[in-house]
Amino acid sequence: MTADLTSVAVGDELPPLTVHLDRGRLVRYAGASGDFNPIHWNPRVAADVGLPDVIAHGMLTMAVAGRIVTDWLGDPGPLAEYGVRFTRPVVVADPDGAEVGITAKIGAIDEQARTARIDITATFAGKTVLGKSRAVIRLP
């Protein structure tokens, strides 16, 4: 989709997205990011620090949540800003993994700046895992 001022309105919802995370994806992300913290791959270490099981990397969770915007745009070029606060971990149990549900809607439009703020909600097991998750896109 090519978003422009005439095609978006405050309250418009983006198509929802569900992303499956499993242990294999955590290992691949660790290799790509260089983050080999054992709470992301070793259940014993995760339990030792009080976690129910291994957890997804926060930045991986952030990245998959941001996909709702780039998938909708079809091109990441108009993405000007993206930020989140990490509020809860995504527990990636073996062998089932975890489903992260992502929804988003247009929260504000700045006609003068030709931008739109997109408010993103990412949930796991019925609870929000990212706070103040927002993207700003440039509109042609």
For position 6, what pLDDT does the model report?
76
For position 15, what pLDDT does the model report?
97
For position 7, what pLDDT does the model report?
86
Q: Does residue 75 sit within a domain?
A: yes
Domain count, the chain: 1
- Strand 115-124 vs strand 127-128: parallel, antiparallel, or unpaired? antiparallel
For position 5, what pLDDT does the model report?
65
Q: Does residue 83 sit within a domain?
A: yes
Domain that holds residue 85: 17-21+57-138
List the pLDDT tens digit at each of the 140 positions of the chain.
Answer: 567 667 899 999 999 999 999 999 999 999 999 999 999 999 999 999 999 999 999 999 999 999 999 999 999 999 999 999 999 999 999 899 999 999 999 999 999 999 999 999 999 999 999 999 999 999 98
Q: Does residue 1 sit within a domain?
A: no
State the amino acid at position 108 in one-letter form.
A
C-alpha dist (Å) from residue 46 to 49, 59, 127 = 5, 18, 20
- Nearest CA to 81 among 116, 36, 40? 116
Q: Does residue 32 sit within a domain?
A: no
CA dihedral (40, 41, 44, 47) in degrees, to 10, reads: 20
CA dihedral (119, 123, 129, 134) in degrees, to 10, reads: -10
State the amino acid at position 81 in one-letter form.
E
For position 129, what pLDDT does the model report?
98
- Residue 116's CATH number: 3.10.129.10
For position 93, what pLDDT does the model report?
94
